[in-house]
Structure formats: C-alpha cells, structure tokens
Amino acid sequence: MKATIWHNPRCSKSRETLALLEEAGVDITIVEYLKAPPTRDELERVYRRGGIHPRDAMRKDAPKLADDGAALDAMAADSALIERPVVETAKGVVIARPPERVRDIL
C-alpha cells in the first residue's frame, strides 16, 4: 500500500503518525508541507476526497473564517494554518489526530 503524508517533523502527532505508517509497512511519500506547500487546488482535491470541510482542516489557533473557500485561500497562502498530519491512501484521506486515525485508511 502507498500513502502520502503531509508532515511536519517538529510535530509529535505527525511523527507518531509517520511511525504508525512505517510499522504497517506502507510505501510512504513524505511531503514537508511547510517547505513544499500544497496549492489551493491540491488542498481542495484532498479535502473533498476525504469528506473534510476546509474550515475543519485548519489549525485550532487559526482565524475563524466565514466559508470553506476563504479557508482554502488562507491555507494556500500560509501552509502553517493546515492542521497536520494529513494522510492520503487509496482508501481515503484523514487528518490523523489522534495518530491512530490513520488506521482507518490502511
């Protein structure tokens, strides 16, 4: 199985999720989204695929925005607003908080 993780190595939840993927023997593509930010279109595609409302995909300390379009624009402009880690496999997309949520798509 293959997985892509939007990862921040400084985040303990992201590191825990990555460890769970490694333990499961998954072929992992690691995207350090702070260094290589996703585009608005990529954000929209991933969240739509996961059934995730973009406003729900923003960090809890991010500004509260009126609609999902504004949330996508904000995250595309500042990737630090993206709640992490985001994991995508052939079975779906999750925001792995808690990290064990990643098992839902393995």
Which sequence positions are flagged as catalytic?
A: 11
Rounded to an integer, what distance in angstroms lies between the CA atom of residue 96 and that of residue 33?
Answer: 15
DSSP state, 104? G
Question: What is the C-alpha separation between 70 and 30, in angstroms, rounded?
Answer: 27
Q: Yes or no: say if 62 and 74 are a contact pair by the CB < 8 Å rule.
A: yes
